[in-house]
Amino acid sequence: MRSRLFCSLILFLPFLLLSCRSGHPLEKKEALDGLKVLNGDITGFIYSLSGRQGSKAMVFLMKQASAPLPFLIDTANRPGFIRDFSFSSGKGIYNWDTASRKFLKEKDTTLILIRFPMPGQPLTKCLFFLFDFEFGKTRTKPAFPVKILAKLFAGGKEVLSISHQASISEALISKISSEIKIDSLRGLFELKREGSFAVKSGLLSSAISIQDGFNEVLRSNIDIDIDYHPPFTYSFQHIRIQQKLFNTELSGRIDYGSINPTSNEYDKEFNKNTSLELMDPVDHGIIGNIVLSPAGNEGRFDYFIRFSDKSESRLTDQLPVLQKLFSYLK
């Protein structure tokens, strides 16, 4: 339960406005207005993304069980990978058959090429090329993608491209470099793990950037000091975050190694070793602090916003768009 809470927080961070810059505490009404702006910005971005040709075509493909792809969207609308996918076995040219509503293989070739009409625009022809794909194996993931190279064209125009490379050492992910383009949108993700079981400690650093044309949507840097535990895994010690989402800057820290995961007062342990502030996107006034508080019975906790008047509100109640996002990851 508590490990899932921590993973949820890491997922929250790119969508939060956490900052330690000097600022004045906002009145609760002002703070709530700032949260509405943030929720609207995220919602508008997601809506814009879902309406792009590259997104619509890719979602259609990933929902087709007959498509020879390593990634899919299941019946619960959750994205994922097909562990037993074989790129070499799937090579060929495939066409969408309107009668059977399936992809039928036309002939073998040196890559995977899928032809289909754009959803809602039957006269717009789409071509999806999967040039290369490869799985690797880690201690926790028997099928982790280490190579993806793909492009999608609609009406002769490139509307999506994926370039992904990952390295694995000591059966752990050591490096990731990914780029995704969807029409005018460009997303980059970099991850690097330093150190090894031999030296006992290291650094896990990640960087994310999303650019939409000339507009910067997100810039995020997270550095985590880690301790290795031979021969299997590592643990987080200190987490440092610096981010900019839309027109908002953020920074924060979590001394995760000082938190006792078995404590009967886990929320107090977490809050004592964490400094996260939510900042107003206009004047950098402090909307509130992100804290862990009890939520319901059975020792459950959730993330709350603590306002200047010391009252608290569940984070997903004020940012409902996040609840929708996390529902895809359950």
Q: What is the pLDDT of residue 277?
A: 83
How far, in Å, CA of 70 to CA of 90, rounded?
Answer: 10
Q: What is the pTM (predicted TM-score) of this model?
A: 0.84
Phi and psi at 325, nearest 5°, equal -65, -45
List the structure tokens of 131.
């040039």
Q: What is the pLDDT of residue 194?
A: 94
Query: 3-class SS at 170?
Result: coil
Phi and psi at 133, nearest 5°, equal -160, 140
Q: What is the pLDDT of residue 296?
A: 75
Phi and psi at 22, nearest 5°, equal -65, 140
Strand 92-97 with 112-118, pairing: parallel
Q: Determine how many CB atoms are found less than 10 A away from the CB of residue 19.
A: 24
Domain range summary for the chain, segments of one domain joined by +: 1-52+188-330, 54-182
Residues 6+ apart with CB under 8 A from 301: 2, 5, 266, 267, 270, 292, 293, 294, 295
How far, in Å, CA of 306 to CA of 289, rounded?
Answer: 5
Q: Which residues pair with 277 in a beta bridge?
A: 289
How far, in Å, CA of 154 to CA of 165, rounded?
Answer: 25
Per-residue pLDDT tens digits for 67-106: 999 988 887 777 888 878 999 999 999 999 999 999 999 9
Q: What is the pLDDT of residue 20?
A: 40
How far, in Å, CA of 232 to CA of 213, rounded?
Answer: 43
DSSP state for residue 86 in the 8-state scheme: -
pLDDT along the chain (330 residues), means of 10: 54 47 79 86 90 94 94 80 90 97 96 96 95 93 93 97 96 96 96 92 96 91 94 90 77 90 89 87 78 82 92 91 68
- ω before 231 within 30° of 0 (cis)? yes
Per-residue pLDDT tens digits for 272-313: 999 988 787 567 688 888 899 988 777 788 999 999 999 999
